[in-house]
Amino acid sequence: MKKLTIIQILVLACLLITGCTDNFEEINTNPNAPEAVSANLLTSTVTSEITRTLTQEGYSDGNTITQLMAKNNFPGFAQFDWGDQGMWNFFYGILPEIDDILEISRAEGTQNSTYEGIALTLRALCFANLTDLYGNVPYAEALAGQSEGIFTPVYDNQEMIYDGVLADLAAADAALAQNQSISGASGDVIYDGNPAQWRKLANALRLRYLLRISKQRDVSSAMQAIVNAGNYISSNSDNATLTYSGTSNTDSWPQSTGRIGGFDEKSLCDTALEYFNRFNDPRLDIWFDRNSDGNWVGMPIGLNQDNARAFDDANSPSRLDVDLFYYSATDAEAFIMKNSEVQFILAEAVARGIISGNAEAFYNAGVRASMNYWGVNDADVTAYLAQPAVAYDGSLELLLTQKTIALWNVDYQGWFNYRRTGLPALEPGPDSLNGDLYPVRFLYPSSEQTLNTANYQAAVGAMGGDNINVKGWWETGTRY
């Protein structure tokens, strides 16, 4: 009897094990936790994160390095006291998600040319920013960790990376030209999955990057072909912008979620005040507030902590407009690229003889697009353009000064333009930690020296050093 009971127990156990094994996958699958992330969820993440981060960088440091804004507290960035800058980790952190969208968009059963075009556009944007900020960076092997087991990627040179960026944007144009619709929620916080609008952004970025390398290459035919086709950002309704909903800290203008003391650390720079006074520019009153005495006061760039605090105490420089940039969670937008930048790109391209057209008309359109975006009406813009100091006279300095102003908050694009052209002229501040030199790149993060040593050293050797004064490929051309 005892022996029979043991046998019965063993048989029952075997049956249970077999039953569990047969249904193991079904039993251990959570129907509420999908194993594959959809393209729309990934797109929601990458479009919002990229747009918000680029604008936050522009607001915090891009405006500072182009001397539109200065800091009266913690002014080390304007002194060029630069260590690791966080954009490296951000871009290399989000690129795998963009790559996932690309794979989904090309896979059988989930193919969608619009998602493909969006992913290619965003990949190009990220890699262009990386190489513009740092110089030689991992590119061809950058995303080969999972697929090929490459976790110490080689650094590619800037020329090769630009070839890839421009190829991606051309491929994006072709994919988006198919005009394939997206069913359901697209996840796209910029254009809601509209392929025609994404196509305009892709081609506007092509114009930006072609002009950027124009000291090294003849880009005339490529730029002219894009202009002739007409599929690029050409009105403010085409702007690649994100409007905050204000429903949470994540979906609010970032400055509105912080402390007022942190907001008050940023002031009008005296370089920008000179521009605004010279042009009698209404954007001064939109972006900044008068001080407590009712005056406009600009703060010198590049003061050290003690001198910045002393200047602030003695002069009360004008702070940023508190209603627009602090109290409102939704009035200020984030953006990737706007029509005003595109018009100034075309104006400069005509002025340099790269494309045909009317430089003055493009210049006027750039000024008008920027002014209209910030709420200045057409009649006032017309009067503004009629001023002798503003009216286009063929001067590249005037054109690029107006472009720099229009690039307010647009990541580091004003700095990139300065590095290519030297205009408008910028001088280091009195307490600069970089001597008389204006920096032209960020330092590689220290983690690369430790985790990717051999490739880091090869890149530093190829570039001529890892310091903030080493120029990149597109800066050293001689075509103009």
Averaged pLDDT for residues 227-249: 97
What are the tokens at 431?
């307490």
Other CB atoms within a 10 A radius of the CB of residue 445 amount to: 20
**Distance in angstroms (rounded) separating the CA atoms of residues 227 and 239:** 17
**What percent of the residues of the chain are helix, what percent strand, and what percent coil, each to the nearest 5?**
55, 5, 40
**Distance in angstroms (rounded) separating the CA atoms of residues 143 and 91:** 12
- Res. 35 pLDDT band, cuts 50 70 90: low
160-184 residue pLDDT tens: 999 999 999 999 999 999 999 999 9
Q: How much is the mean pLDDT over the chain?
A: 93
Please report, for residues 29, 246, 461, the alpha-carbon distance to residue 85 in angstroms, rounded to integers and kept in the order given.
Answer: 42, 28, 21
Q: What pLDDT shows up at residue 37?
A: 81
Q: What pLDDT shows up at residue 18?
A: 45
**Distance in angstroms (rounded) separating the CA atoms of residues 383 and 385:** 5
**Distance in angstroms (rounded) separating the CA atoms of residues 172 and 232:** 13
Q: Are 339 and 233 in contact (CB under 8 A)?
A: yes
Closest CA to 157 of 130, 127, 137: 137
Q: What pLDDT shows up at residue 83?
A: 87
| Single-letter code of the amino acid located at 200 | K
Give 157-161 contacts, CB < 8 A, sequence gap 24+.
157/462, 157/473, 158/131, 158/472, 158/473, 158/474, 159/216, 159/473, 161/127, 161/128, 161/130, 161/131, 161/137
Q: Could you say which architecture CATH assigns to the domain 40-253+330-476? A: Alpha Horseshoe (1.25)
Instruction: Report the Cα–Cα distance between both ends of the chain, in Å, rounded.
Output: 101
Residue 217: is it exposed, middle or buried by C-beta count within 10 angstroms (0-12/13-18/19+)?
middle
Q: Are 463 and 135 in contact (CB under 8 A)?
A: yes
**Distance in angstroms (rounded) separating the CA atoms of residues 304 and 379:** 43
Instruction: Give residues with Cβ within 8 angstroms of 386, minimum separation 6.
Output: none
- Is residue 211 over pLDDT 60? yes
**Distance in angstroms (rounded) separating the CA atoms of residues 141 and 124:** 15
Please say whether the dihedral angle defined by the alpha carbons of residues 412, 416, 419 and 424, taken in this order, is positive or negative.
Answer: negative
Q: What pLDDT shows up at residue 84?
A: 81
- Is residue 6 over pLDDT 50? no
425-441 residue pLDDT tens: 999 999 999 999 999 99
Q: What pLDDT shows up at residue 27?
A: 42
Residue whose structure tokens are 């493009």:
362
**Distance in angstroms (rounded) separating the CA atoms of residues 455 and 448:** 9
Instruction: Give residues with Cβ within 8 angstroms of 267, minimum separation 6.
Output: 69, 70, 71, 72, 298, 299, 312, 317, 318, 319, 320
Residue 463: is it exposed, middle or buried by C-beta count within 10 angstroms (0-12/13-18/19+)?
buried
426: phi then psi, degrees, rounded to nearest 5: -125, 135
The DSSP element (H or E) to which 212 belongs, if any, is: helix 195-212
- Res. 146 pLDDT band, cuts 50 70 90: confident
Alpha-carbon 36 to chain mean position = 28
Count how many Cα atoms sit within 13 Å of the Cα of residue 192 in the half-sphere of its side chain: 4
**Distance in angstroms (rounded) separating the CA atoms of residues 371 and 301:** 25
| Ordered alpha helix ranges (H), 23-143 | 24-27, 39-57, 63-65, 87-106, 113-134
Averaged pLDDT for residues 218-231: 98
What are the tokens at 110?
């989930």
Averaged pLDDT for residues 13-17: 43
More confident residue, 26 or 165: 165
Averaged pLDDT for residues 264-279: 98
- Res. 4 pLDDT band, cuts 50 70 90: very low
330-354 residue pLDDT tens: 999 999 999 999 999 999 999 999 9
- Res. 33 pLDDT band, cuts 50 70 90: very low
Averaged pLDDT for residues 103-112: 96
**Distance in angstroms (rounded) separating the CA atoms of residues 234 and 341:** 10
**Distance in angstroms (rounded) separating the CA atoms of residues 219 and 201:** 19
386-406 residue pLDDT tens: 999 999 999 999 999 999 999
Averaged pLDDT for residues 11-15: 43
- Res. 147 pLDDT band, cuts 50 70 90: confident
Closest CA to 429 of 316, 323, 333, 305: 305
- Is residue 23 over pLDDT 90? no
**Distance in angstroms (rounded) separating the CA atoms of residues 39 and 184:** 11
- Res. 53 pLDDT band, cuts 50 70 90: very high
Please report, for residues 39, 112, 192, 208, 231, the alpha-carbon distance to residue 107 in angstroms, rounded to integers and kept in the order given.
Answer: 11, 9, 22, 31, 27
Please say whether the dihedral angle defined by the alpha carbons of residues 244, 246, 247 and 251, taken in this order, is positive or negative.
Answer: positive
User: What does the DSSP assignment read for 46-76?
Assistant: HHHHHHHHHHHHIIIIIHHHTTSEEESSS-G
